[in-house]
Structure 1
Amino acid sequence: MADPLCDYDGDYSMSASRIDKYVSVFNIGLQNTFVYRWNYFLRAAFGLIPLAGTVFLWSAVFKERGSGLHGYDYGSMIYYY
């Protein structure tokens, strides 16, 4: 007697079209992984640009002034950012 809740039809062999579907799904998942990975790396890289700009800006300001600015020195200003 066959179980009506079971989808097993007695044949576990996979046809080429079923394998192609699994390969396609795998390839799409792999592409999504690389898209998000590149997105992460690009966001991290472009997130460092404002930090570098701020460091260079305050470096120039403190090099010109030679002393602190309202109680902040160079290290504390960078730490504050």
Structure 2
Amino acid sequence: MPVLELRVLGPPEIRVDGAVQRVRTRKALGLLVYLAVEPDLHVRETLATLFWPDSSPDVARASLRNSLTYLRESLGEAPGY
């Protein structure tokens, strides 16, 4: 299993198995950090509202989907998981 390191003091840095990974957007990075420090189960609508409060529900859910896709790509997760 890959080792994920999040460094958030100073400039944020994400490492997977020691290799620095880039995340496309600050919202995606914020979402990753939030999910890491709040490990309970989360309802997608709640996350969408939390991160995109000024967007319509449809736009917020689409933004959440995109951010999750960016994270999966950045962290090297296989499709389908």
Q: What TM-score do you get using the length of structure 1 for normalisation?
A: 0.27
Give 1 or 2: higher helix fraction: 1
TM-score (norm: length of structure 2): 0.27
The structure where strand makes up a greater share of residues is 2
